[in-house]
């Protein structure tokens, strides 16, 4: 079994998923040069000046840098013993006076030490997979390096390395390679890691250290080298040709963080958040490349490709048991039509009353910064006019897979449901607070309203849900709370050749004064969800910023004093009645029983994967070729078709709650 744990995360976005990203700053000067040791202390100071809360180089920050740096240079915790790791952490934490004096020899020393360790690991692996090697099918491995930790002794290190080799060999065997080929590929993998380390120049060494420093401030800050900045800028384009997935790097694995609405992976409906991608074949004719421990930038470049071409991914998934599978995805541009807001109607009956309920699916806050082009807020405004024309009895807004988007559109859409008042406040590093108000004084919809959320709902979607909750405008239904990302990142370009700083510069606050940071938006009526696990959400990210509060800024005239635009505020007693009715239904729903069972099984997961489970997959597939077991976007019986034919249990129950709300309010 595999456990995600509380792992470090280096985010390199493949597509736009974050609402709180501010545009690039002024154009840098034309002077161009590579990153040098001379730049390092200046960038330390720049990060501290810009950061929203960590403004000084404290002892705690120095210790964090040491911890993150060790994780970066030894992500699998196999090269360093715990005593060695502690020595390196301390060495890094003590290096700041020298670094501020523009002496970066500590980085060269550490690089040389790690190169020696890579050479030893390569030699040891070649010995393990040499003549006489036999796969130990009974071997097991704690796959999550965070849970595994560094070995305490040389003997423990030998056992860990041998088990890692068994795991890697079993992956190749499960992909229809014979044992001799699997042995050769594993040996080459360690040789490749040694070569990459040997080829690392001083500029890369400085970049790694700077990124460790930035991520010690909070999980969303980071240093983008010139190459990483190029990838980041490509990822910000919604017309990106690829698979439409946001990846993060965690302990040597490329991990699926979000499926981008409208992308190829979203339409195929196979990948899920927290899946680990362990191998990539960039086209039909290529052999899968083992991407464990590969830099995320390189993984992204393997996955990215021209529209219409196909990429094959080998995926490791942990639910109630470990599952390894291969999926083929046809690369495509992210479709605005697939991503766009959609409206449909559902018929419900409660206490003999038949009613027509509108469902607004809003997978992201999309749009172009050019106001003359398509905007999410314009689409939603038109949909709400249709809801009024159709005389719907109630409205369900589905934000359950909305990971964010454009902040301005989230504010405008919030204003469609209230007359006037502050929607969100932004507090910067100088403690200055700016309130973004509802930009109009009208209300486009004033009827009964439910908002469906989950722990996937993040950033801009939390602004909308938080505003509607604080104004008592809607009932929030779904996972226990939303993701909890309440921070604003600015990408600040440096002079050509140096890349850019990505730094957290502000916090979001709801109209009631609470920040969404770390805590998200609590549901009024909680429904069981597979995402309601301890390792999913902002609060599980390393060094995430704590939540804060400011003085409430709700508008006094948010509700129309008279006329058809006035809405009925959601009261605690009303919420309790809705929650009681929902609990009774959920208790008798077998689908929610299954979800609770899977959550319980995950909680009991010991984080150990049995190699026999991987090999059993090969036996189950028999002689079928990978092509015959791959998913295809054109397959008529694909999961996508099934998903479109049946609503999730959470959405169905949210509609029942909305129907109850209509009855109780009337």
Which pLDDT does position 320 carry in this prediction? 61
What is the band of 169 on the pLDDT scale with cuts at 50, 70, 90? very high
Contact at 8 Å (CB) between 15 and 266? no
Please tell me the total count of domains within the chain: 2
- Domain range for 524 is 339-573
92-116: burial string, b at 16+ Cβ within 10 Å, e else: bbebbeebeeeebebbeebbebbee
Of 490, 544, 15, give the one whose Cα is nearest residue 257. 15
Which pLDDT does position 540 carry in this prediction? 87
Whether 6 is in a domain gets the answer: no
Q: How far apart are CA 338 and CA 340, in angstroms?
A: 6
Contact at 8 Å (CB) between 458 and 401? no
pLDDT at 11 over 50: no
pLDDT at 296 over 60: yes
Whether 161 is in a domain gets the answer: yes
Which pLDDT does position 335 carry in this prediction? 67
Whether 649 is in a domain gets the answer: no
In this structure, the answer to whether residues 343 and 492 fall within a common structural domain is yes
Q: How far apart are CA 291 and CA 275, in angstroms?
A: 14
pLDDT at 562 over 80: no
Give pLDDT tens digits for 351-390.
Answer: 889 999 999 999 989 887 677 778 899 999 999 999 999 9
In this structure, the answer to whether residues 410 and 559 fall within a common structural domain is yes
Whether 623 is in a domain gets the answer: no
Whether 591 is in a domain gets the answer: no
Which pLDDT does position 486 carry in this prediction? 95
Contact at 8 Å (CB) between 646 and 41? no
Q: What is the percent of the chain with per-residue pLDDT over 70, rounded to a whole number?
A: 87
CA separation, residue 329 to residues 240, 242, 246, 524, 631 (Å): 15, 9, 15, 38, 8
Which pLDDT does position 567 carry in this prediction? 93
Mean pLDDT score, 528-545? 86
Mean pLDDT score, 86-109? 95
Which pLDDT does position 434 carry in this prediction? 96
pLDDT at 236 over 60: no
Give pLDDT tens digits for 392-444.
Answer: 999 999 999 898 888 999 999 999 999 999 999 999 989 999 999 999 888 99
Cβ-proximal residues to 120 (8 Å cutoff; 6+ apart), any chain: none
Which pLDDT does position 325 carry in this prediction? 87
In this structure, the answer to whether residues 366 and 498 fall within a common structural domain is yes
Whether 99 is in a domain gets the answer: yes
240 backbone φψ class: left, alpha, beta (φ>0; ψ -120 to 50): beta
128 phi, psi to nearest 5 deg: -65, -45
Boundary of a domain, candidates 162, 196, 217? 217
* CATH number of the domain encompassing residue 374: 3.90.226.10
3-state secondary structure 270-336: CCCCCCEEEEEECCCCCCCEECCCCCHHHHHHHHCCCCCCEEEEEEEEECCCEEEEEEEEECEECCH
In this structure, the answer to whether residues 205 and 60 fall within a common structural domain is yes
Give pLDDT tens digits for 126-149.
Answer: 999 999 999 998 888 887 888 899
Lowest mean pLDDT: which of 238-247, 494-503, 595-604?
Answer: 238-247
Which pLDDT does position 321 carry in this prediction? 66
Beta bridge partners, 504, equal: 489
Whether 65 is in a domain gets the answer: yes
Higher pLDDT, 253 or 660: 660
Contact at 8 Å (CB) between 395 and 357? yes
pLDDT at 21 over 50: no
Boundary of a domain, candidates 573, 608, 630? 573
Concatenated DSSP letters of 107-161: HHHHHHHHHHHHHHHHHHHHHHTSTT----TT-EEE--HHHH---SSHHHHHHHH
Whether 349 is in a domain gets the answer: yes
pLDDT at 305 over 90: no
Mean pLDDT of all residues belonging to the chain: 85
In this structure, the answer to whether residues 211 and 344 fall within a common structural domain is no
Boundary of a domain, candidates 513, 539, 573? 573
């Amino acid at each position: 079994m595999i456990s995600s744990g509380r792992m470090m995360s280096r985010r390199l976005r493949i597509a736009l998923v974050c609402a709180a990203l501010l545009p690039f700053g002024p154009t840098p000067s034309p002077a161009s040069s590579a990153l040098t040791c001379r730049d390092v202390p200046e960038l330390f100071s720049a990060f501290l000046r810009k950061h929203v809360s960590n403004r000084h180089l404290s002892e705690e920050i120095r210790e964090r840098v040491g911890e993150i740096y060790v994780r970066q240079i030894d992500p699998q915790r196999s090269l360093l013993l715990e005593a060695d790791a502690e020595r390196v952490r301390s060495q890094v934490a003590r290096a700041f006076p020298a670094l501020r004096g523009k002496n970066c020899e500590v980085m060269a020393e550490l690089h040389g030490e790690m190169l020696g360790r890579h050479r030893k690991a390569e030699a040891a692996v070649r010995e393990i997979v040499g003549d006489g090697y036999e796969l130990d099918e009974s071997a097991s491995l704690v796959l999550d390096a965070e849970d595994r930790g560094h070995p305490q002794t040389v003997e423990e290190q030998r056992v860990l390395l041998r088990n890692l080799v068994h795991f890697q060999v079993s992956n190749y065997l499960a992909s229809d390679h014979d044992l001799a080929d699997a042995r050769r590929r594993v040996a080459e993998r360690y040789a490749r890691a040694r070569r990459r380390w040997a080829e690392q120049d001083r500029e890369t060494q400085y970049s790694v250290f700077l990124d460790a420093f930035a991520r010690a401030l909070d999980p969303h800050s980071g240093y983008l080298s010139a190459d990483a900045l190029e990838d980041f800028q490509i990822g910000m384009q919604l017309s990106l040709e690829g698979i439409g997935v946001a990846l993060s790097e965690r302990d040597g694995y490329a991990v699926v963080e979000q499926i981008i609405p409208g992308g190829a992976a979203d339409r195929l409906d196979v990948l899920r958040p927290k899946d680990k991608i362990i191998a990539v074949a960039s086209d039909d004719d290529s052999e899968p490349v083992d991407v464990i421990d590969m830099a995320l930038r390189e993984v992204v470049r393997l996955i990215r490709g021209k529209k219409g071409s196909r990429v094959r991914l080998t995926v490791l998934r942990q639910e109630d048991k470990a599952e390894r599978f291969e999926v083929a995805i046809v690369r495509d541009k992210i479709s605005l039509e697939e991503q766009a807001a959609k409206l449909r109607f559902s018929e419900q009956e409660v206490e003999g009353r038949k009613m027509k309920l509108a469902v607004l699916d809003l997978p992201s806050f999309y749009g172009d910064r050019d106001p003359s082009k398509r905007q999410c807020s314009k689409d939603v405004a038109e949909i709400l006019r249709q809801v009024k024309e159709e005389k719907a009895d109630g409205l369900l807004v589905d934000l359950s897979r909305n990971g964010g988007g454009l902040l301005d559109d989230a504010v405008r859409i919030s204003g469609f449901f209230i007359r006037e008042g502050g929607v969100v406040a932004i507090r910067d590093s100088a403690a200055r607070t700016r309130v973004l108000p509802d930009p109009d004084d009208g209300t486009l919809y004033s009827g009964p309203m439910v908002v469906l959320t989950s722990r996937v709902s993040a950033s801009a979607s939390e602004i909308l849900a938080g505003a509607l909750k604080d104004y008592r405008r809607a009932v929030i239904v779904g996972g226990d709370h939303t993701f909890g990302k309440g921070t604003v990142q600015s990408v600040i370009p440096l002079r050509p050749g140096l890349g850019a700083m990505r730094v957290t510069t502000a916090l979001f606050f709801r109209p009631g004064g609470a920040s969404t940071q770390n805590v998200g938006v609590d549901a009024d009526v909680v429904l069981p969800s597979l995402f309601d696990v301890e390792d999913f959400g902002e609060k599980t990210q390393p060094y995430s910023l704590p939540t804060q509060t400011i003085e409430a800024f709700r508008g006094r005239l948010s509700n129309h004093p008279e006329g058809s635009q006035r809405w009925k505020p959601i009261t605690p007693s009303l919420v309790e009645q809705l929650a009681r009715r929902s609990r009774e239904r959920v208790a008798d729903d077998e689908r929610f029983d299954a979800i609770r069972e899977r959550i319980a099984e995950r909680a009991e997961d010991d984080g150990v994967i049995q190699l026999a489970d991987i090999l059993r997959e090969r036996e189950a597939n028999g002689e079928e070729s990978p092509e015959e077991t791959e998913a295809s976007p054109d397959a008529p019986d694909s999961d996508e078709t099934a998903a479109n034919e049946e609503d999730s249990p959470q959405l169905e129950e949210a509609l029942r709650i909305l129907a109850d709300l209509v009855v109780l309010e009337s």
